[in-house]
Amino acid sequence: MPESLKMILVLTLISGAAGLGLSAMNDYTKPLAADNNRKFTLSSINGVIPNAATPDACQKYAPAFDNAPDKDAICVGASTVYRGRKGNEVVGIAVEAIGEEAYSGTITVLVGIRMNDGQLSGLKVLKHAETPGLGSIMTKCEFQQQMVGKGPGDINWTVVKDGGDVNQISGATISSRSLLRAIHKAQDIWKNNREDILNKAPIAEGEVCDGK
């Protein structure tokens, strides 16, 4: 057999065997991985729609809803809005909003808003690449305490540096602004998309909101 033919044959066979093995592995692990992702989403939503009059960011509460919000989501623009219902009434929403122009790319935040008065009921930073120890402080409950439990009219939702009431993280004003941008998006959705939140049919499982 000529050398070139042997090369082609060996590489093809090995790649084929690798592909077969991987597709079997994929079939086996995919449902498990999807289940993990679902559990993670659900536990994040649990944390931002708490059953408390004025929630404290550092306390753990039972969720205020009794449905499965991860299966009851709608898209508003590029944001995913999960609806927490008690009985059939929407008691709170968890908005997966993107904060642009963070220090390093964008941040993804799950913002909990109480339905009747727009109170910020919880915050969870899902994805960020901010500087550890500086921008990453936004994931800490001690920083979030000043915002969680406050209604849209209670404080001026901009950082102190820009004339607002939110103490920016020292050394990470840009990250703080980006987090507030995500919160603003969620508050706007609560204010302007009430009809959609109450009446729109949920998106299919696995569907992604891309703003189109």
Partner 1 sequence: MASKETGLGEVLKGIWRDNPVLTLLLGLCPTLAVTNSAYNGIGMGVATGFVLIGSNMFVSILKSIIPKSVRIPVYIVVIATFVTIVDMALKAFMFELSQSLGLFVPLIVVNCVILGRAEAFASKNTVLRSILDAVGMAVGFTLALFVLGAIREIIGSGTLTLFQMGETEVKFFVLGKSYPGILVMILPPGAFLTLGFMMAARNVIQSRLDNK
Q: Which residues fall within 8 angstroms of residue 131, CB to CB, at 6 or more apart?
A: 103, 104, 172, 175
- DSSP class per residue in 44-87: HHHHHSBS-SS--TTS---BS--S-GGGSEEEETTEEEEEEEET
How are strands ordered across the β-sheet holding 79-86? 73-76, 79-86, 89-99, 107-114, 120-127
* Residue 153, token pair as written in the block: 């009219």
Give the interface segment with partner 1, choosing from 16-24, 141-149, 181-189, 196-204 (CB under 8 A): 16-24
Shortest Å, Cβ 206 to partner 1: 16
| Nearest distance in Å: CB 133, partner 1 | 4
Confirm or reject binding of residue 32 to partner 1 (CB under 8 A): yes
> In the complex with partner 1, which residue's Cβ is closer, 83 or 124?
124
Q: Which is nearer to partner 1, 140 or 194 (CB)?
A: 140
149 Cβ neighbours under 8 A, 6+ residues apart: 54, 55, 56, 57, 119, 120, 121
> Counting every residue, how long is the chain?
212
Residue number, 137 or 197, with CB nearest to partner 1: 137
Closer residue to partner 1, CB minimum distance, 38 or 86:
38
Supply the minimum distance, in Å, between the C-beta of residue 115 and partner 1: 29
Part of the chain binding partner 1 (CB under 8 A), chosen from 18-26, 51-59, 117-125, 174-182:
18-26
Question: Is 58 a residue that touches partner 1 (CB under 8 A)?
Answer: no
User: Between residue 115 and residue 134, which ones bind partner 1 under the rule CB under 8 A?
Assistant: 131-134
Chain residues in the site for partner 1 (CB under 8 A):
3, 6-7, 10-11, 14-15, 18, 21-22, 25-26, 28-29, 32-33, 36-37, 39-40, 131-134
